[in-house]
Structure 1
Amino acid sequence: MNAMSVTRVVVGYDATLPSSAAVDAAARLVPHAHAWITYLWTPPLVDEDLRRRLWTGSRSLDEFIQAIEREGQWRADRIADIGATLARASGWQAETLAHRVMGGEGLELAQLVEKMQPDLVLLGTRGLRGIRAVLGSVSDIVVHQSPKPVLVVPHPLLSTEHHALTDGPVLLGWDGSPGARAALDTAQRLLPGRNLLFATVEDDDTTPEAPPRTGDADPTWLRIPRGHGTTAQAVAHGLITGARDHDAALLVVGSRGRTAAAEILLGSVVMATLHQSHRPVLVVPQPDAD
């Protein structure tokens, strides 16, 4: 994929400020993209006043149910249209997908990704920290289940974090594992021309192999001492601190590390990074997930 190739993106969209801000941020990271603005809705997508109106105008229960679904689909289409308008204003090509589901939106979105085989999945999320640092169930499931890379954009971004999106470097978690190499391949493919910073959060028991050359110059390798706390929290904190100190546009992490004894990018580290990061995080599935 060269700098002018069009990246195919499935966007999980719900017209909230976090999901709208995620589109704007992603368009700065990946300027040439074709987006499917995807809104998965669960009936009834109408408020109580409208349901009362529809009930009054219906001659039977079946007619009432049909009216509920008709109005719900119309509103879902409108929400997806709003997202597509925003994506086009941000420079992307865009079309809409508004699907009715009976719950389990995260799993439904992951299954849709498997069917459509995009290059990237985009999600926005509120930036909750500390003991409240949990992703919404949809984001959580998609990150775990998606066979394709998932870009999660926290909300809100500070002005410096937003400015870094356009041309800031990419900080890539590196431990020499197949997962880290898959993350590198994905970063080079989706973010061509970006300066790559390889970040290793070290401890006394781990000495990963050096990162590969990605051009004419030697790779920039940040070797960050591991701090206190659990392995996942310490590694995530190290990666996030490195991204902040080098004003990175985003972090890229693989979904699995090498072993339990030398874990750098296990799933728990990925989730800890997602929960704590104030910058976008690109999660790349393990190589055998494709």
Structure 2
Amino acid sequence: MPIGVLIGFDGSPAATAAVEVGGQLLPQAHAWVTHLWTPPFASEPLRRRLRASVGSATELVERTESEGEREAQRVAATGTTLARAAGLDAEPLVKRSWGGEGLVLAQLAEQVSADLVLVGSRGLGGAQAFLGSVSDTAVQYASRPTLVAPAPMLADEYDALADGPVIVGWDGSGGARTALTAAQRLFPAREILAVSIGQGITEALPEGVAGEHVDAPPGAKEHTVADALVGLAALRRAAVVAVGSRGQSAMRQVLLGSVARATLRAAHRPVLVVPGP
């Protein structure tokens, strides 16, 4: 059965890049290309046209509704065309929402039984949305793994999508084990490399999983752990960095707000954040 991925799409360059990332990492997956139709329910150029052509406030509201819905459908259709060109089995999905786009994406992923949520790190919900809003909220609330595609990516980072390994942050915690299992399920043809950072990690890896250790000073902070993961990912030409949203850092501190968040902000490669057990 193919992987099912719900892709947040708003027509921005970052969202377009996320579609391309999905096509490279999840060939022939089924994709719901999802556009959230949010207030003011029409783009600024469309609203300017309507304001200049209608005769009353009531007519403006009605035309904004009808024309805005058509506009939203066109955006979703454009994303679907791009996804199909990237090799995905894609269908459009438009959802009217009054805000909280990241939470809505997380809820939609449950409704369609998606295996994965894919979002760009910038651009969802309009030009003012940055990592820390839509992408961050999706990561926080999704019950499915969330893949965050950074933008822009350089040529060598794009090239690594084709056959690069998946780096999984490993500390032996339940969160790390869940992240490892998700990486193996979502990317079955990829090499999986579990990477531990710093001192005090004694839990053995599951049988058959390759591991690597990177030294770090005692008491290494979350940004140090994240930078080490990101640096090793660049060295190994990784396609994806995977982390658990709950687990322990090298200091044995509970995270998402620490290593997973720091990795999202430091990485220039797609980051898979997997909710904990």
| TM-score, normalised relative to structure 2 | 0.90
Q: Distance in 2 between matches of 1:136 and 1:265?
A: 16
Q: Distance in 2 between matches of 1:54 and 1:173?
A: 51
- The answer to whether residue 114 in structure 2 is matched with residue 109 in structure 1 is no
1:46 deviates by 3.5
Q: Distance in 1 between matches of 2:83 and 2:24?
A: 11
What SS class does the counterpart of residue 247 from structure 2 fall into? Answer: coil
1:258 deviates by 4.1
2:211 to 198, 209, 221: 221
- The answer to whether residue 141 in structure 2 is matched with residue 151 in structure 1 is no
1:22 deviates by 1.1
Residues 242 and 260 (structure 1), Cα distance of their counterparts in 2 relative to 1, 3 Å cut: closer
Q: Distance in 2 between matches of 1:191 and 1:247?
A: 16
- The answer to whether residue 262 in structure 2 is matched with residue 272 in structure 1 is yes
2:201 to 193, 197, 207: 207
1:64 deviates by 2.5
1:138 deviates by 0.6
Residues 58 and 143 (structure 1), Cα distance of their counterparts in 2 relative to 1, 3 Å cut: same
Return 5+ residue gaps in structure 1 as ranges. 128-133
1:130-169 correspondence runs (5 A)? 135-169=131-165
How many residue pairs were aligned?
Answer: 271
1:56 deviates by 5.9
2:223 to 211, 221, 233: 233
Which range is displaced more, 39-48 or 257-266? 257-266
Give the fraction of aligned pairs with identical amino acids, expressed as a percent: 48
Which range is displaced more, 236-245 or 108-117? 108-117
1:44 deviates by 2.7
What SS class does the counterpart of residue 213 from structure 1 fall into? Answer: coil
Q: Which residue in the other structure is 1:281 paired with?
A: 271
Q: Distance in 1 between matches of 2:170 and 2:273?
A: 13
Deviations 1:233-257, CA, capped at 9 Å, x for gaps: 0110111111111111111111111
Q: Are the equivalent residues in 2 in contact too, given 1:11–1:36 (CA < 8 A)?
A: yes
Q: Are the equivalent residues in 1 in contact too, given 2:171–2:250 (CA < 8 A)?
A: no
1:221 deviates by 1.5
Residues 223 and 49 (structure 1), Cα distance of their counterparts in 2 relative to 1, 3 Å cut: closer
- The answer to whether residue 24 in structure 2 is matched with residue 28 in structure 1 is yes
Q: Distance in 2 between matches of 1:237 and 1:51?
A: 44
Return 5+ residue gaps in structure 2 as ranges. 124-129
1:194 to 187, 190, 200: 190
Q: Are the equivalent residues in 2 in contact too, given 1:7–1:33 (CA < 8 A)?
A: yes
Deviations 1:53-76, CA, capped at 9 Å, x for gaps: 535654653332111111111111
- The answer to whether residue 246 in structure 2 is matched with residue 252 in structure 1 is no
Which segments of structure 1 move beyond 6 Å, counting only runs of 4 or more? none
- 2:15 corresponds to which letter in structure 1? S
Q: Distance in 1 between matches of 2:153 and 2:251?
A: 35
1:260 deviates by 9.2
Question: What is the aligned-residue RMSD (CA, Å)?
Answer: 2.3
Q: Are the equivalent residues in 1 in contact too, given 2:161–2:239 (CA < 8 A)?
A: yes
Deviations 1:90-140, CA, capped at 9 Å, x for gaps: 11111111222222212222222232220000011249xxxxxx7141111
1:13 to 5, 9, 13: 9
Residues 64 and 147 (structure 1), Cα distance of their counterparts in 2 relative to 1, 3 Å cut: same
Residues 69 and 262 (structure 1), Cα distance of their counterparts in 2 relative to 1, 3 Å cut: same
1:156 deviates by 1.5
- 1:65 corresponds to which letter in structure 2? V
Q: Distance in 2 between matches of 1:13 and 1:229?
A: 40
Q: Are the equivalent residues in 2 in contact too, given 1:201–1:264 (CA < 8 A)?
A: no
Residues 62 and 180 (structure 1), Cα distance of their counterparts in 2 relative to 1, 3 Å cut: same
Residues 222 and 176 (structure 1), Cα distance of their counterparts in 2 relative to 1, 3 Å cut: same
Q: Distance in 1 between matches of 2:33 and 2:121?
A: 16
Q: Are the equivalent residues in 2 in contact too, given 1:9–1:121 (CA < 8 A)?
A: yes
